[in-house]
Structure 1
């Protein structure tokens, strides 16, 4: 009988029924859910419902308020939202207060850019007015970023975020600085720091990025005038090599390696002049390749011909007491002073000449070695990179970072050549060099008076605001330094991934003293008074209290806008004190966020310390470290108990994103086209702990993955149409297949809990997706659709199936809710519509531990493997159209353990199974097809065209 002449029983089949659409339309639907949550004041409601529960605090690291949300922001905030939502799902009270960093160079530079476009000079503007513009600029971007992040579905206290430019925050930053000062862990000193001549300020390591450049390399000769241990060196020239010719005008000494072997050689220059030089023996060949010299033949009247060029060699320690003179000594003054040879353990023979010229103004090694021998910086280079006007050589000229100024034809090399001190110069040395992250201009090391927190000074006495004296002793130890305290905390804190401990540990163990000061306008002032005669800063609790109160009332303008005598009171005279004009490093600002967010009481749902900080891996040298150091110096411990780091988002080819390459991915555009849930699914699917990729093809894959999850929800909703508690059946009464599903659900629940504890959200979401696609859609749903559609509503098997599907729906909507925040809510409301209900108010689904059955799991793993073999065996027949549907197949195969042939036929969705033989044999059934269930069961009544099962259901 043909299908066309069969009776139509479609109206008797229990097909899935739901209004949950297959097409998501996320870009249009998601804003409506956001509006609904906003109308419910959802964040506050969640806080009220979770009040009194175990607390979990993730402290938000502040992004800069200076641009639209980029893909890194999106990834970071989705991961934070995953933490907060999964901890909430576990039943905890997990508040989230977002925040922004509003001070510092990135924002000030943007405002200055606007000035430059208008031909205005920032230095000619009233500082208070300039700061007001910076504040308005930051607030504008806070408002824009806030709406963009809310569109991602991030649940937080968006109406009350923290801003480092709030007056209360500024006052607490000031108070934290004064605590450091009161503890004695603050000093003013002149040290070389990274300095941007373009931005005219010191920079932190975190504000610097390294780029490959080509520099001029020079070999410069310093004539030796004294050599008590090697008199024959007098008149010879010590040769130094450098890639920063601009530091030669500030040279004060020459460093040698005590254990290096040095050669005393004679050469002939192109001019015919002979010159004797001193260089490391290991670097002689490299020097000869660069320098304007050739081997001297040492031939004189009556002398035998000699081809040797070596006069003598020395151990570096033999050079003790040697003195040279600067090539520009004829200028007198500073340049006429002797240049002593100093032993330096940092001198190597990796490159150069083995002799290193020392400019204590422009190098940390230089500074420390010279300081140890009583040689002080001279501050020859101004903040804009020019030599100061009164400098004898090149005064008023520069900028020192200008390649032409440093080039072989530039004034430095030209003057050295004229003085006979230039042996080689070429603009061909490729190397990595620090640049300002903001302006992209090269930075220099420059010695300036700055404010520092020492890393290696013992912290004696009580640390302000430590909870108890016992806390101080246990966390810090008696007389422990800041470096030692921080290293101990790094060991205590949990780092995810674990290598983060090594990364930040290496940075803290070798970092110099913390430079707190900046020479800018937009930031929190260093609110110190320094005595003009003694140079000591004032420590007075009453003065400090007045300063803090003024900043709390008026913001940072209070420091310069208030008569200093008001702060000093009657105890001190303003004329005796210098009011410091520097501002704080913005990393100190952000490092203090734990103090004014977690401790201030403005957000009572929070507490100190935080359970977790989560940011990109670059924050090991940024926010993680500044927060660690600030908290250790004031509280003796880290402000966090765990730190999670993620990598950077690259384009589809693995390249760093940049506007110049045109390979950036705008998350706002992705959301507008595909929806936030698809972007969120990408964020947790990628291996975000490493650097990861995004691109159009990758996002198409995420759309497909999303569609499969959505279809799982849709199928469950349709299958559960009309389900009520009267249908529910106990697990003990269920068929084995349903008990296996519950076993898998219990296994999955345990795995997901572990993922939450491990912050392993990639495994979390991939385990969920795999369960939906492989365990449910490709297997369980496929097997049970016949029973679901065609069994009687009173059938125990169908009731068991619907009971399991109800359990699956409750579990999957909750587990997916932290990932697909909009879709999970849509699915929940489709089944349980409520004006004020939400899937996001629910706890972790109830999973009965008794569902776990390892033996059952192993058994059904074997059955599924056998089913897959049957499916593969049938496939060639389907391709040849010998068999159109697996329902037409009769399968003969070796017995599958633990399941009858009839049950295996149902599981494999075939007409019949016969056990026997050594291989799988497929034949086409001769049985008629039931007009209702379309199965070929061999028991179809020709009169009704129904199988026995369907006939009974309709009867």
Structure 2
């Protein structure tokens, strides 16, 4: 680590200027001749815009400036670092510089600290990147680059999720475009997998290129793909598992690295699966799962989107009781009494197996009287009253929850007269006629999911079409009926409804049939939250099918305990994943798709009993190691079975299901973290969007807990979604999509869509509180661009005023003026605050600190008052050297502080450094990331508190003085602030002493008139009417420390120095230079001395 003290930190060696230049960009080279106007720092005071620097600058540019006699004596700033970034061209040059010199690899290997691992959550390889991708990867890069500065060994392995339905559909679409109808049948699983793989790899290449352009540092040569990860650490397990069968072929595998590497993550995924099988966590069962008719596959919860505006056909239906309870409580109403249910899925009624009640609720038998209307309108939506209410078949008694009587009267448009009440438990074992077939079904007792918040308090139960129905059905041994096929159509088992779509014509047909059978009481549209397939954007259904599941109950407690040991950012994220994990059902891990990792299972042809053992799994892994995962699809069952099963191969068939893509990505810790050299398991950090609590965070947790007993991460950071600058979700149809690529390189119309470069995009990422949803748009980007420009201007000022810097110019800390010690004190406190913000991953605080310090506080005060001693104080003067000492400290600190967020700007600054910088080990820091975060400098923090506090008050006083100076300028009393004299008066004797000390400062840098940038400051011992009446512009400043200070402004005394433009009484004292002040005369005399004399 480099030392931090300014008298020790500047281990520099003079070199031929410039250092290690890249190809020169088309900006003007010498700063003193640039025609962009203004001073180096973008926030330079208007009061200085007419000062001697501008005059000399104009003279240097050939403009008339009096006689220009002393223009060559002004030490103007010089740098090759352009004010305009030209980022669209410059950034790729800097990225090439990093790549050509393997900076990331070299720095990480050189660092002596512990390994730091941020495990990359794999994005889908199925399209162009969007702002969410940019936010995610740039946040990760902030952390990795900061950890490099903290001396950690960082290896960031990028990943991609290459399996799943979206990629399969893209591959299929590409394939179909090139086919005619006659060759359509050629779309075999192998060909489809080949097309999907080709599409995924092409997408990975495109996305990787974009991520690189964002300035993201990663091991791009060795990413992990769920179809082809590149990790040599996989050798250990893979070779051991394959050694027996392949023997000498191992050498061939090692030589064919690309083939070997492409299989490792698949093998480790199979390893995770195999371990869970052996531990009894994997089972096959017929259970209701989320099913997508549009995709014809089961879906996990993480593959669903919930529409808030879905409209269902909800119905109230009466199921007639055929066998009342043995207690006789319903005898008075039999046979005209019915159970009334409410459902939003009428299509599930053919699969009805029971009606469930809550044993704790009170139910009533109510007589239906006074039917008010046959049709009504509610909220503008048509409601249909069923035939049962308009029939004249005698009395109708209904059983509903007592608390819902009033609600149902209003809803149905009837009068309900209660005859009897009883608890739900009394209804158990009552029998009713199935509304669609001739079966007789029972009333059963359900759980707390049966409430009186909606419906009737009685729940139509179809164990084949609902999770709660399934659980209740198991308790009573109910049949699991699901007469629906893969495409969402009724099967022949549904009788007259066979072939109809359950979400369309089939649903309507069931409702019509119920009405014809005098079962329908009311039908009405119902708007509610409903699950949709996240890719096809079509509604899903619950459907019982044979699937493979991971039994979460087997390790739920261990998972909950692990969650509590993980650090969650933000902290409330823990509550979210706790709720999801504690309540989740068993994980359906099988998918009915072609593109994915096959589930290595065989089924007995007759019994359908699955064959999956440690032996069969190890055998399949060995085959995949040698031939790839496609072998499952083109090899025969006999070839895939271990030797001892081959004589019975005709009795088995291989399965066609693939694993859930969340099992793919959720196993990445096994293939990446646990098996690759230089990486840690568990990872230090997982960082993804908040939607991954039910996705990757959870799938990784479950697979890791099931196989290793611990979480795969120590900390988890989540970010929100990116919205437009008005807070709306981005949509192509609305036209509010912000494209990260256009932010960087610009759109077709560069005036309307300018290219800002990657660092402006990264600066935006740092500016937002990513733990919530964040906003972006043209106005916000313009603000970021302005901030970037100001920061670049500050860095340019620092560089340009160090063009003649030598290490032996450094002034020891104890000899520095108070104002310079004050600047270093604040620099150290600012760096401490930024370090704390980086450590807590609160990058928006880093941005705020930079904004306040580097582009406001530093520029508007210290750099502003520094110009006088830098430009006209004399090249070898003590005050200029002390100022350069402080500027050097700021440059070395700020370039490191901004490097994680704006690495291109930081590197551009470093490549324009006008000297070489030597590290403590004697090596040269050729790149900015050769540096380390500076150690805390206690010496800089040792400045006397009284001095620091008083100078802080002086800065506040300065702001008030500036307001009065501005009034004087507006009133034409003065032009620039150097035309003014400031008077101060206070009754505080202590304040008077301190002000006089500053006004007569021996080193000149601490003088009040230098801090105010005026020609004179007088401290008045008394304040009377004669004085106040003669001072045209006045004001007051009040502070608890100083009391009230009276401020007055008049024209400065004396004559104006032609060189520095300060007014003094001594101008005209030198016959050879009659227009110079004493200070400027001394500078001129020193410059005209022979070099040897000057040095001495």
Q: Tell me the TM-score normalized by structure 2.
A: 0.80
Deviation of residue 523 (structure 1)? 0.5
Q: 2:151 aligns with which of 66, 72, 91?
A: 91
Larger CA deviation: 31-40 vs 141-150: 31-40
Instruction: Determine the structure 1 residue equivalent to 2:1010.
Output: 906
Cα distance, 1:752 vs structure 2: 2.1
2:537 paired with 1:423:
no
1:863 to 954, 973, 998: 954
Cα distance, 1:365–1:19 mapped onto 2, change above 3 Å: same
Q: What is the deviation of 1:927?
A: 2.9
1:611 to 684, 707, 723: 684
Cα gap change, 1:248/1:894 in structure 2, threshold over 3 Å: closer, same or farther? farther
CA distance in 2, matches of 1:241, 1:390: 24
Q: Secondary structure at the match of 1:106?
A: helix
Does residue 1:729 correspond to 2:811, yes or no? yes
Q: Which residue of 2 aligns with 1:546?
A: 619
Residues 256-405 of structure 1: pairs in structure 2 closer than 5 A: 256-268=357-369, 269-273=389-393, 274-291=395-412, 294-295=414-415, 309-329=417-437, 332=438, 336-398=439-501, 400-402=502-504, 405=506
Matched, 1:178 2:274: yes
**C-alpha displacement of 1:7:** 5.4
Cα offset, 1:185, TM superposition: 1.1
- Does the aligned pair in 1 maintain the 2:349–2:436 contact within 8 Å? no
Is the 2:368–2:397 Cα contact (8 Å) retained in structure 1? yes
Kindly tell me the number of residue pairs found equivalent between the two proteins. Answer: 903
Task: Give yes or no for contact 2:108–2:148 (8 Å, CA) kept in 1.
Answer: no
Q: Using the alignment, how far apart are the partners of 1:720 and 1:911 within structure 2?
A: 26
The whole-number CA distance in structure 2 between the counterparts of 1:777 and 1:833 is: 24
Shift of 1:769: 2.8
CA distance in 2, matches of 1:514, 1:859: 66
Would you say the 8 A contact 1:253–1:342 is kept in 2?
Answer: no
Structure 1 CA distance for aligned equivalents of residues 572 and 970 of structure 2? 52
Could you tell me which residue of structure 1 aligns to residue 571 of structure 2? 498
> 1:621, CA displacement in angstroms?
0.9
User: Could you say what secondary structure the match of 1:391 adopts?
Assistant: helix
Q: Is the 8 A contact 2:109 2:153 kept in 1?
A: no
| d(CA) in 1 for partners of 2:612, 2:302 | 30
Residue 924 (structure 1) shift: 2.3
- In structure 2, the partner of 1:9 is 70
Asked if 2 retains the 8 angstrom alpha-carbon contact of 1:323 and 1:341, the reply is: no
Q: Counterparts of 1:610-689 in structure 2 under 5 Å?
A: 610-672=683-745, 673-689=755-771
1:574 Cα shift? 2.8
Give the equivalent residue in structure 2 for 1:467. Answer: none
* Whole-Å separation in 2 of the counterparts to 1:947 and 1:176: 83
Q: Which residue of 2 aligns with 1:930?
A: 1057
Aligned to 1:478: none
Contact 1:79 1:683 in 2 (8 A): yes
Deviation at 1:529, TM superposition (A): 3.3
CA distance in structure 2 between the aligned counterparts of 1:169 and 1:347, rounded to whole angstroms = 45
User: Using the alignment, how far apart are the partners of 1:391 and 1:732 within structure 2?
Assistant: 93
| Structure 1 residue 119: Cα displacement | 7.9
Give the corresponding residue for 2:830. 748
- The 1:359/1:94 distance shift into structure 2, 3 A limit, reads same
Does residue 1:206 correspond to 2:302, yes or no? Answer: yes
* Corresponding residue for residue 510 of structure 2: 412
Question: Structure 1: where are the runs of 5+ without partners?
Answer: 296-307, 458-481
The whole-number CA distance in structure 2 between the counterparts of 1:608 and 1:536 is 37
Q: 1:838 aligns with which of 911, 921, 927?
A: 927
8 Å contact kept, 1:198–1:441: yes
Correspondence for 1:445: 542
Q: CA deviation at 1:639?
A: 0.9
Q: Which residue number in structure 1 is paired with residue 864 of structure 2?
A: 782
Distance apart, 1:776 and its partner CA:
1.4
Deviations 1:493-536 (A, max 9, x none): 11111111111111111111111111111100111235567876
Name the structure 2 match of 1:168: 264
Paired residue secondary structure (1:441): coil
- 1:455 paired residue number: 552
Q: Equivalents in 1 of 2:968, 2:531: separation in Å?
A: 67
Q: By how many angstroms is 1:79 displaced? A: 0.6
Q: Give secondary structure in 2 for the equivalent of 1:522.
A: coil
- The answer to whether residue 941 in structure 2 is matched with residue 852 in structure 1 is yes
Mark the CA change 1:80 to 1:630 in structure 2 (over 3 Å): closer, same or farther. same
Distance 1:348 1:122 in 2: 52
Q: Distance in 2 between matches of 1:879 and 1:847?
A: 46
Q: Give, in angstroms, the shift of residue 762 of structure 1.
A: 1.4
Would you say the 8 A contact 1:264–1:313 is kept in 2?
A: yes
Residues 928 and 936, structure 1, Cα contact 8 Å, conserved in 2: yes
Q: 1:35 aligns with which of 96, 115, 126?
A: 96
Which deviations, in whole Å up to 9, do the C-alpha atoms of 1:374-433 show, x marking residues without a partner? 0021221111111112422401211x223x553xxx212111111111111122x11111
CA drift at 1:122 = 8.0
2-side partners of 1:761 and 1:554: how far apart?
A: 47
Are residues 343 and 184 of structure 1, via their aligned partners in 2, closer, same or farther at CA, if it must alter by over 3 Å? closer
* CA pair 433-542 structure 1, distance change in 2 beyond 3 A: closer
Quick one: distance in 2 between partners of 1:450 and 1:833? 68
Among candidates 222, 234, 253, match of residue 334 of structure 2 = 234
SS for the counterpart of 2:896 is: helix
| 1:68 counterpart residue number | 128
1:526 equivalent among 599, 613, 635: 599
SS of the equivalent of 2:340 reads strand
Question: Aligned-pair distance for 1:542?
Answer: 3.9
CA distance in structure 1 between the partners assigned to 2:975 and 2:185 by the alignment = 82
How many Å separate the matches in 2 of 1:655 and 1:729?
55
Equivalent-residue separation in structure 2 for 1:870 and 1:141 (angstroms): 61
CA contact (8 A) 2:368 2:414 kept: yes
Q: CA deviation at 1:370?
A: 1.0
Name the stretch that deviates more: 728-737 or 109-118: 109-118
Q: Which is bigger in relative contact order (C-alpha 8 A, separation at least 6)? A: 2
Q: Secondary structure at the match of 1:392?
A: helix
Asked if the contact 2:75–2:874 (Cα under 8 Å) also holds between the matched residues in 1, the reply is no
After superposition, the C-alpha distances for 1:629-661 in whole angstroms (9 at most, x for unaligned) are 110000000111111111111001101112122
Deviation (angstroms), 1:443:
0.8
Is structure 2 residue 776 aligned with structure 1 residue 714? no
Contact 1:893/1:920 (8 A) holds in 2: yes
Structure 2 unaligned spans of 5+? 1-51, 56-64, 229-262, 370-388, 746-754, 917-923, 1001-1006, 1024-1044, 1086-1096
Cα deviation, 1:790-820, whole Å, max 9, x if unaligned, reads 1122222211111111111111112211111
Contact 1:172-1:548 within 8 A present in 2 as well: no
Distance 1:140 1:510 in 2: 39
> In 2 relative to 1, CA 342–796 (structure 1 residues): closer, same or farther, beyond 3 Å?
same
Within 2, Cα distance between the matches of 1:122 and 1:40?
A: 51
Task: Give CA deviations for 1:316-361 in whole Å, capped at 9, x if unaligned.
Answer: 12212211112223xx4xxx23243333331100011111100111
Question: Equivalents in 2 of 1:77, 1:937: separation in Å?
Answer: 59
CA–CA separation in structure 1 for the residues paired with 2:184 and 2:434: 40
Cα offset for 1:833? 7.7
State the partner residue of 1:157: 219
Q: How does 1:869-880 map to 2 (within 5 A)?
A: 869-880=960-971
